[in-house]
Structure 1
Amino acid sequence: MRILARFRALLAVLLLGAGAAHGAYPDHAVRLVVPFSAGGQFDIVARLFAKYAGERLGQPVIVENIGGGGGNIGAAKVANAAADGYTLLTLGGNHTMAKAMYANPGFALEDFAPIALISASPHVVLANAGAPFKTMQEMVAYAKRQPGKLSYGSPGVGSSMHLTFEMIKHRYGLDIVHVPYRGGANALSDLAGGQVQLGIVAIAPAMEFIKAGRIRALAVTSGSRSGVLPDVPALAEVGYPELDAASWMGLAAPARTPGAIVDRWNAIVLAFQRDPATAAQLQVMGFRSRATTPQEFKAYIDAEAKAYTEVVRRTGIRAD
């Protein structure tokens, strides 16, 4: 069955040019909604993907940033859009936990047709360059000596980074104030400027700040070190071996989008992941990719929703 699904996806991508030439879908620009501000992980990958997809479709794929609500505002707009393949969503872990975090997030996972998983990246725990600690262990000791003094920025309430840092606080017994932003880029700017002392985002958007010495990486949230930050320990090395959290991004359409359109976009994602140039770009930024069929991506989403719901229940974290 998997071989058949892969064949259908590859056949769909071969038919892209012919379809466009005969006035079939798409015959005008496609809108790709990124539910966070520009410059964050979703935005970086979405713009790479949009350029690649637009070249193969023969129509522009326009990235639209709709931040706020931990990704819920943008997701709700796509959930209520026409199911015609002209409005798509970059869907992530924040959406799988929305039902558990919010009384009314504005959408349900059933409002979307999963297309494919695109990429994943560990989170990285960060500190302002002038903070009075240089390692994760020193940060934990400092926070315990001065409860409530430190603050951390995340891409928003209900984001996977927010939940991950709250898990870290719970694990180490820390009192650190959460400051939510409309995306990772905004959190990084304030972290570098000293408005907050700590932050948590995906690796890619943080790399420029780390290399410039404006912020310091304390730990990555994966079970092992990241190849792009080889000198930064994994949390497994500093007292939290059971945590392996990542920020992942996939592609989804409004529910009831025709299966042929879903298959076509799945084929584009697979081709994007296999393209040597884009694969190299993703790898340099610390992203991992994993090919999935729409059915496999749905199973992945369901498993993530179950896991995050349990974490929310166990920690008591709520966004409202």
Structure 2
Amino acid sequence: MNEKPGFLFALPINRRRMLQRLGAGAAIAAPVWSHSATPYPTGPVTLVVPFSAGGQFDSIGRAVALAMAADLGKPMIVENTGGAGGTIAGGKVARAKPDGQTLLLYGGNLATAGDIYKTLDYDPLNDFQAISRLSLAPHVIMASPASGITSFKQLRDKLNSGAKLSYGSPGVGTSMHLTFELVKQQMGLDVLHVPYKGGANVMTDLIAGNIDLGIIAIGPALSFIKNKKVVPLGLTSKARSKVAPEIPSLSELGVTDLDTGSWAGLSAPKATPAHIVERLNQSAHRALQSADLKRMFEEQGFVATPTTPAQMKQFSVQEAKAFSAVIRNLKL
């Protein structure tokens, strides 16, 4: 791969070996592909990741890219393009040539971007060709031990008694912020939002008792939950998570039709030829079947969720619809 020099060697040795196994496994499984149209790919494929290197979204992109590169028979170069909630990266791919050589790691941040960023020169929902969803991990709502809250019933009781409570999220307009606001609406909770610049900052203040509640993705929260530094209240999914089966889902607690979290998918510029979309969809599905990649996902609380292009597009539209009223109410 034409990554930054020394990328693999800069990683911890266990992660480096895992990524190397992912590539090798996909290479073994790769079938011979033939199609009457122009062969694809014709050269290195660039996967644009809309956040900086080192985070969970970036980890997913790099692992999937390595496995797909072996399957496609060409390098897949990961290019981190952060800023403006992922919309800078989105614009770059939306304007790229629709030949399948430039792809986007698409997520909920872009599905809702059209309601948040009114000056975009592209449509975050309709200027991309969906390929496949890749992963989904629920968010987890937690309480600080100092708050004395161990359940949503206790949370309601405190609020009904006149207590003034606060919750932290990784930032205004993030999926965690919008999800908690949706939960507030459905459960009738009056809780003050305190925005942070990332999930790590949320956890620091939650553990210290500076905020009463917090919401971040399940993966980064797991070690704090297991060490009883925070109290988990519920997951923003319809089902419980394999990595934390003791935490109830919010659907069990009366929040209906909520099944959201941090998710990632693969998209291409609009008008990408159908045979290229099909090729990429099949390659993504094979990458997600890798035992090592599945293990990596599960360790971080992610679940592989391969779909058809139509299913991914439908999911994106549903996400945008679910949060549009929340965004309008918050005047984001």
* Category of TM-score, reference length = shorter chain: 0.7 to 0.9
Match of 2:268 in 1: 253
Q: Deviations over 1:31-66 (max 9, x none)?
A: 3313467323x2332232122123334444343444
Q: How far apart, in 2, do the equivalents of 1:256 and 1:179 lie?
A: 41
Match of 1:121 in 2: 137
Distance 1:53 1:212, change over 3 A: farther
User: 174, 191, 196: which one pairs with 1:159?
Assistant: 174
Alignment of 1:1-320 (within 5 A): 14-15=31-32, 25-28=41-44, 30-35=46-51, 38-40=54-56, 42-108=57-123, 109-143=125-159, 145=161, 149-154=165-170, 156-181=171-196, 184=199, 187-188=202-203, 191-192=206-207, 196-309=211-324, 312=327, 316-319=329-332
DSSP-derived class of the 1:234 partner? coil
Q: Conserved in 1, the CA contact under 8 Å of 2:46 and 2:79? A: no
Bigger Cα displacement from structure 2, 259-268 vs 226-235 = 259-268
DSSP-derived class of the 2:301 partner? coil
Q: Conserved in 1, the CA contact under 8 Å of 2:50 and 2:83? A: no
Q: How far apart, in 1, do the equivalents of 2:121 and 2:223 lie?
A: 34
Q: How far apart, in 2, do the equivalents of 1:148 and 1:103 lie?
A: 33
Number of equivalences: 299
Structure 1 vs Structure 2: percent identity of aligned residues? 38
DSSP-derived class of the 1:233 partner? coil
2:31 is matched by which residue type in structure 1? Answer: L
Q: Which runs of 5+ in 1 are unaligned?
A: 1-12
Q: Conserved in 2, the CA contact under 8 Å of 1:78 and 1:253? A: yes
Match of 2:3 in 1: none
Q: How far apart, in 2, do the equivalents of 1:121 and 1:179 lie?
A: 23
Q: Conserved in 2, the CA contact under 8 Å of 1:153 and 1:191? A: no
Q: Conserved in 1, the CA contact under 8 Å of 2:166 and 2:194? A: no
> What is the TM-score normalised by the length of structure 2?
0.74
1:93 is matched by which residue type in structure 2? Answer: G
DSSP-derived class of the 1:238 partner? coil
DSSP-derived class of the 1:99 partner? helix
Q: Please provide the CA RMSD for this pair.
A: 3.3
DSSP-derived class of the 1:151 partner? strand
Q: Deviations over 1:166-198 (max 9, x none)?
A: 012223333333344555456445545666443
Distance 1:57 1:144, change over 3 A: farther
Displacement of 1:251:
0.5
Q: How far apart, in 2, do the equivalents of 1:68 and 1:126 lie?
A: 28
Displacement of 1:209:
3.2
Q: How far apart, in 2, do the equivalents of 1:273 and 1:167 lie?
A: 31
Q: How far apart, in 1, do the equivalents of 2:184 and 2:224 lie?
A: 24
Q: Which runs of 5+ in 2 are unaligned?
A: 1-29
